[in-house]
């Protein structure tokens, strides 16, 4: 079984660099997807309260023979719950059948709501209580992150953002790195690879390495130092997405993929959402 790379977060905790995303997966589908993923070697599962599948994730985790301390489970605080993260996390833990999550993230900054700094303070307390081993954010731009630093003195360990070859967010990735914040890519395959998989550079690299376009793109994330959580409920793809540890892209190949950046956002803009 392949051994996957691990990222050391700035709080000292360790996070598998490749995980299974379960956005838009039903409670039923997520059970079989996680069962296949854990059997394949994944140890990192990423869900969220708003996905409405934490119950399914919990059922899968309760059934697995994999020890809890080998798993890395992420869930997220939804926008409507920024006033009360403790209650929200306790509800998530109940559904997940867990005593703690490994990573708890503020899902969106919601700057017009202007509650994210206070919510962040409350997440830091949840970490102190042991309900979350690590705490971070999703979809935060540099001004949002700077406010957290200026007003609380504490940086998130992770900033999970939309990131794929068509939206590479290099300035934000670099800022995160400068502040020891790991960058995690959601929609790492650009939601099914449309506009990416058919690119010449991706096709040529797939042929060269005898890999699928998806595997090339996942390898690109890993070689750029990003954490990636490709979503699939298809057993064959779950296995395929994990089979990326027997090759690496070289600097020239990474540079070629860098040229695909078109600033093409598929999800909402965090500044205006």
Q: Please indicate, yes or no, if residue 269 is contained in any of the structural domains.
A: no
Whether 273 maps to a domain, the answer reads no
Q: Is residue 247 part of a domain?
A: yes
pLDDT attached to residue 93: 98
Per cent of the chain over pLDDT 70 is 99
User: In 25-58, which positions are buried (b, 16+ CB within 10 angstroms) versus exposed (e)?
Assistant: bebeebbebbbbbbebbbbbbbbbbbbebbebbb
Domain harbouring 237, CATH code: 3.20.20.100
Residue 77 covered by a domain: yes
Domain of 211, in residue numbers = 6-258
Read off the pLDDT band of 21 (50, 70, 90): very high
Tens-digit pLDDT profile for residues 76-120 = 999 999 999 999 999 999 999 999 999 999 999 999 999 999 999
Nearest Cα residue to 103 out of 56, 138, 151, 79: 138
pLDDT digits (tens, 9 = 90+) for 214-257: 999 999 999 999 999 999 999 999 999 999 999 999 999 999 99
Total domain count, the chain: 1
* Residue at 154 is within a domain: yes
pTM of the complete model: 0.97
| pLDDT per residue as tens digits for the range 156-166 | 999 999 999 99
**Catalytic residue annotation:** 51
Asked if residue 267 belongs to a domain, the reply is no
pLDDT, tens digit, 9 for 90 and up, residues 184-212:
999 999 988 889 999 999 999 999 999 99
């Amino acid at each position: 079984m392949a051994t996957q790379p691990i990222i050391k977060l700035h709080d000292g905790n360790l996070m598998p660099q490749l995980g299974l995303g379960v956005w838009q997966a039903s409670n039923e589908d997520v059970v079989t997807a996680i069962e296949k993923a854990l059997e394949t070697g994944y140890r990192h599962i990423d869900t969220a309260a708003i996905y409405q599948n934490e119950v399914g994730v919990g059922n899968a985790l309760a059934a697995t023979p994999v020890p809890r301390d080998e798993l890395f489970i992420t869930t997220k605080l939804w926008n409507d719950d920024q006033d009360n993260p403790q209650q929200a996390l306790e509800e998530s833990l109940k559904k997940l059948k867990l005593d703690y999550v490994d990573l708890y993230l503020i899902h969106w900054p919601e700057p017009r709501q202007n509650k994210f700094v206070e919510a962040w303070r409350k997440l830091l307390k949840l970490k102190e209580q042991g309900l979350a081993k690590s705490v971070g954010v999703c979809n935060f731009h540099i001004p949002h992150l700077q406010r957290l630093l200026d007003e609380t003195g504490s940086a998130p360990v992770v900033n999970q953002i939309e990131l794929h070859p068509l939206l590479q967010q290099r300035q934000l990735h670099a800022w995160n790195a400068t502040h020891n914040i790991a960058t995690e890519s959601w929609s790492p395959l650009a939601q099914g690879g449309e506009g990416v998989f058919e690119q010449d550079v991706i096709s040529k690299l797939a042929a060269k390495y005898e890999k699928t376009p998806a595997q090339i793109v996942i390898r690109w994330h890993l070689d750029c130092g990003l954490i990636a959580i490709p979503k699939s409920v298809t057993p064959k793809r779950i296995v395929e997405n994990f089979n990326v540890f027997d090759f690496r892209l070289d600097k020239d190949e990474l540079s070629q993929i860098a040229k695909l950046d078109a600033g093409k956002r598929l999800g909402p803009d965090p500044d205006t959402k």
